[in-house]
Amino acid sequence: MPDASSLLYIVLIGLAAGVLASIVIPTNAGLLGAIVIGVIGAAIGSWLFPSLGARISHNPTVATIITSTVGAILLLFVLRLIRR
């Protein structure tokens, strides 16, 4: 089970990724929605990037934010396609 600092890290990275993704593909999800979008995006990105053999950055925090943001953008894109 993750400790409190790990959970805080996950929430903050999820928030950053969700907000950045919401700038690229506008949503009105709110703060909690941005966190959820970012955390799900992190799961998508952490699966996608290694599958493609892509390495983003030597800094793990920067790599996590970029990977999570790209995953969140993909999530929002797919959700937008499904809604149409």
Instruction: Give me the domain span that covers residue 72.
Output: 4-83
pLDDT at 3 over 90: no
Q: What does the pLDDT look like over 22-77, one tens digit per residue?
A: 999 999 889 999 999 999 999 999 999 888 888 887 888 899 999 999 999 999 99
Confidence grade of residue 6 (pLDDT, cut at 50, 70, 90): confident
Q: What is the pLDDT of residue 2?
A: 67
Distances (CA, A) of 11 to 18, 36, 52, 54, 82: 10, 9, 26, 24, 26
pLDDT at 1 over 80: no
**Domain total in the chain:** 1
Single pTM value for the model: 0.89
Rounded to an integer, what distance in angstroms lies between the CA atom of residue 33 and that of residue 63? Answer: 22
Residue 36, H or E segment: helix 30-52
User: DSSP of 50-79, one letter per residue?
Assistant: HHHT----SSHHHHHHHHHHHHHHHHHHHH
